[in-house]
């Protein structure tokens, strides 16, 4: 299920509890991020066992445009995660709406 940039900003502003993961490359993460744990999509499959403690929690995934995080969402769903969510439009949409 997708999450919009507005919904994510509201969650961050309220300090809600959820897992936030950036699946971009390290150089993209360094340029700008919204606080997510960096797990590049190329290593994501290997990281899934480390995330299993969050299987029942909301996990929000983001990338540049929403494509890589969409793949990560499907991988988590296939691994039995209950509530993985893909940030619709990714960091491009975030920067367009909110800037850095």
Q: What's the mean pLDDT in 67-77?
A: 97
Give the residue numbers annotated as catalytic, written as ranges.
63
Condensed to tens digits (0 to 9), the pLDDT of residues 81-98 reads 999 999 999 999 999 999
Condensed to tens digits (0 to 9), the pLDDT of residues 12-43 reads 999 999 999 999 999 999 999 999 999 999 99
DSSP string, the chain: -EE-HHHHHHHHHHT---EEEE-S-HHHHHH--SSPEE--HHHHHHHHHHHGGGTTSEEEEE-SSSHHHHHHHHHHHHTT-SEEEEETTHHHHHHHHH--
| Residue 67, pLDDT score | 97
| Residue 35, pLDDT score | 95
Considering just the CA atoms, what is the radius of gyration of the chain in Å?
12
Whether the pLDDT of residue 99 is over 90: the answer is no
64 close to 92: Cβ distance less than 8 angstroms: yes
| Residue 9, pLDDT score | 97
Structural domains in the chain, sorted by start = 2-98 (3.40.250.10)
């Amino acid at each position: 299920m997708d999450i919009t940039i507005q919904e994510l900003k509201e969650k961050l502003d309220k300090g809600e509890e959820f897992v936030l993961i950036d699946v971009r490359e390290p150089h993209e993460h360094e340029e700008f991020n919204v606080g997510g744990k960096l797990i590049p999509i190329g290593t994501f499959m290997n990281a899934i066992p480390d995330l299993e403690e969050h299987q029942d929690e909301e996990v929000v995934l983001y990338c540049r445009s929403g494509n890589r995080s969409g793949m990560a969402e499907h991988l988590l769903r296939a691994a039995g995660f209950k509530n993985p969510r893909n940030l619709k439009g990714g960091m491009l949409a975030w920067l367009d709406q909110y800037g850095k």
